[in-house]
Amino acid sequence: MRFFARLALLTAALMPLPVLAQESSSTVGVLDAAKVPGVMTRAVDGFIRPGYRRFTDQATVLQGAMNTLCSAPSPETLDGAHKAFGDVVEAWSRIEIIRVGPVLDDNRFERILFFPDRKGTGLKQVQAALTKPDLSVTSVETLKGKSVAMQGLGALEFVLFGTGSEALTTTEGHYRCQYGTAIAANLKRLGSELSAAWDAPDGVAAAWKTPGPNNPLYRDEAEAAKELLGVLVHAAETIRDQRIEQFYKGDPKKALPRQAIYWRSGNTFRSITANIEGVRDLLDTSGMVELLAEDNRSVVSSTDFVARSLSRVSADIKPDVAQVFEDPAQIAKLDFLLLNSRDLILRLNNDLGGGIGLAAGFSFSDGD
């Protein structure tokens, strides 16, 4: 009852925004195969490649901010590094919904973001490196050979925001700062590798754009469309299962704010919002609406309405996750995210999936 009371509170506060979750009405369509290459091309050139370039550019800025912090430590230069970190988190959070292709090679995804760190193993490794100086973590060439948990966003967040980070404003934090600079350089390196992989004329981008019997990845248009839809569905599932339910499953008394992604830096909801915006952007930029029959294209607009509402509510939640659970109105917003993130999954999986020719109820999470 408390859950619905909080949801009612949020609904009243957001009027005229309705409670969105409802039974979806899926219509099984027939895939228009001729339009699939165009959709896949727009996904690559309009979302994936620009997304990795944006991430690489922000990582470059972050590396510069870290260099400045190391050479002139002060509260002001630390603030600059904090801002640059937040911008990298946002850039990554938009493109991290692409969990296929080159990002899976050589554990690149985990090197950029090792999360969740279920046993705290990664945190312990970072803390150990900071406690007992190890010059091998201060160079990207040696850092990249270490545990994936020590070389990405999670590690850098602890360097910049974790216990002892106040030392970064003085020369006493020089070693810590050098470690952070190496992480930033590693993020830039990984971003550059991903951009190069997607920019290669005969690489993964070509495979996405030209499904067919001679294609090593997609033997026909249906397989290509399934891949793109799977990206969207998996992204929506991850937002709910690994970003929201990671720390909150509906009972404030059992909330675990320190299990939330980026809780130390206050970027939890900035990241979740960027995840949602990534889903919206990919759905829109790719033009997947063209794969639906004319009389069923409202599926995309209704799906985007749900995603847009989720994004708006997420962006309005306090950055400090622990403080969220001290405010009933903020908790109500979390409840809204829980309820309607499930609706987003169903609309993508059942309504959009069924509408483009995949049977309604198809489960991407099962790997079918």
pLDDT mean values, one per 10 residues, the chain (368 residues):
54 47 64 97 99 99 99 99 99 99 98 96 97 97 98 99 98 99 99 99 96 96 96 97 98 98 99 99 98 95 98 98 98 98 96 83 48
pLDDT of residue 11: 54
Q: Which residues of 155-189 are buried (b: 16+ CB within 10 A; e: fewer)?
A: bbbbbbbbeebeebbeeebbbbbbbbbbbbbbbbb
| Cβ contact 75:98 at 8 Å | no
Within 13 Å of residue 347, how many CA atoms lie on the same side as its CB?
24
CA distance 110 to 275: 17
| Cβ contact 154:116 at 8 Å | no
CA distance 182 to 67: 10
CA distance 122 to 99: 21
Q: Residue 295, Cβ neighbours under 10 Å: how many? A: 8
Q: Residue 11, Cβ neighbours under 10 Å: how many? A: 17
pLDDT of residue 20: 53
CA distance 79 to 65: 9
Q: What 8-state DSSP symbol labels residue 19?
A: P
Which amino acid, 16? P
pTM of the model: 0.93
CA 156 centroid distance within chain: 17
| Cβ contact 303:276 at 8 Å | no
Residue 203 burial (10 A CB sphere; 0-12, 13-18, 19+): middle
CA distance 23 to 74: 54
pLDDT of residue 7: 53
pLDDT of residue 14: 52
CA distance 25 to 27: 7
| Cβ contact 293:29 at 8 Å | yes
Q: Residue 249, Cβ neighbours under 10 Å: how many? A: 12
